[in-house]
Chains A and B, each alone.
Chain A
Amino acid sequence: KNEVEQSPQNLTAQEGEFITINCSYSVGISALHWLQQHPGGGIVSLFMLSSGKKKHGRLIATINIQEKHSSLHITASHPRDSAVYICAVMRFQGGSEKLVFGKGTKLTVNP
């Protein structure tokens, strides 16, 4: 079992729909990243959070440390939101930090 599990693997939505992507992890972490990857391959960090909730524009990320679960929400989705969304947890071990990634959720928003 992977240390970081995302669901769903693939998600297709109509423009304007509310999107939720889930991430569960099985290890102790110091923080959690939500990342966006477009077809060209570059990765953009959307959020880094260790508790509670963060909001940036139409994106909202929440984390529940006790339940080892995080969600990424997109309100009023748009075709330009189509991308792969990756959850990554930051593990702090032996004086160094390491990101452990989920496999990603491929989101397609149709006009």
Chain B
Amino acid sequence: DTGVSQDPRHKITKRGQNVTFRCDPISEHNRLYWYRQTLGQGPEFLTYFQNEAQLEKSRLLSDRFSAERPKGSFSTLEIQRTEQGDSAMYLCASSSGTSGSIYNEQFFGPGTRLTVL
């Protein structure tokens, strides 16, 4: 399977613990996106990488959230000191394209469902 993969698929943690999620994009895609989706809502943008550079971060991404893409391939999203409000589906997507180009279709991973008790 050469699609976008995410690990783990499910994570249950206690409030105050740190969690880390991983996303492996489609191999030739240079753009990678993280989204968060709460129950009954559409996904919301969190952050975006072009290669290893983090180009944009949403105001939703508090200081407890950090994302990296060190080699321009896989990415990690870490949440420190988790809160119950962090419970959501965390989605990763990737696309190809160069800066300034448009019409870059995004391909989504299966998501990581986080439950904070």
Contact = CB atoms under 8 A, between A and B. Distances in A.
Contacts of A45: 105-108
A43 B3 CA distance: 12
Interface string A29-49: 011010100001111110010
B105 A99 contact: no
Interface string A85-97: 0101010100111
Interface in A55-111: 86, 88, 90, 92, 95-104
Interface in B64-117: 89, 91, 93, 95, 99-100, 102-111, 113
A83 B62 CA distance: 31
B33 interface: yes
Contact of A96 (B55, B91, B93, B108): B55
Chain A, interface SS category:
strand
B44 A101 contact: yes
Interface of A: 4, 30-31, 33, 35, 40-45, 48, 50, 86, 88, 90, 92, 95-104
Interface of B: 31, 33, 35, 37, 40-45, 48, 50, 55-56, 89, 91, 93, 95, 99-100, 102-111, 113
